[in-house]
Amino acid sequence: MLTLVKLDSKYCDYLRKYDSRVPYNYKGKELRPFVGVLFTVNNLKYFAPLSSPKPKHLKLKSKIDFWKIDNGKLGAINFNNMLPVTKNNIVEIDLNERVSTESQKKYLKLLNEQLYWLNRHSNVLYNKSKTLYKKYINNELSNNILLRCCNFPLLEEKCLEYNKRN
């Protein structure tokens, strides 16, 4: 079963020192949600960032590094920006949290709908993430996709370093 988490922004900032493709995980006051666990490598879990629905998602095609959630109606997952983490770098999102504003309610509703859809399609999700990772490691990606992907092996190394220090 998949979960939604937030990553520690200091952790993401640290990784970005070594790979500029590491996504910024905050938008205003809210931290970007990541879906996970997609897979585990070298005792590190991988999580991928979610993207809120945008009109462009309806037109874009799903690719090896990008997958539309419910044909783009619920946003997308950016596998190219998957990040390795340990339990120290994540905080689970409480989807039953009491919120006071309409925008917060709307946002939690979207997250619940995304998670529900993703859990119903989890086999595809796992396969896509593992396939991208494997092709990256084996240098089997086109240059175009390779340039969009985080450097997974380097980030694994930096993840371990960060968690030893902190």
Number of domains into which the chain is organized:
1
Reported pTM: 0.90
- The residue segments making up the domain with residue 138 are 3-165
3-class secondary structure for the chain?
Answer: CCEEEEECHHHHHHHHCCCCCCCCCEECCEECEEEEEEEEECCEEEEEEEECCCHHHHHCCCECCEEEHHHHCCCEEEHHHCEEECHHHEEECCCCCCCCCHHHHHHHHHHHHHHHHHHHCHHHHHHHHHHHHHHHHCCCCCHHHHHHCCCHHHHHHHHHHHHHHC
CA distance linking residue 26 with residue 29, whole number of Å = 7
**Which of the residue ranges 29-33, 96-100, 112-116, 157-161 would you say has the lowest mean pLDDT?**
29-33
The pLDDT tens digits for 10-59 are: 999 999 999 999 988 665 555 678 877 788 887 899 999 998 899 998 88
Q: CATH number of the domain at 67, please.
A: 3.10.129.130
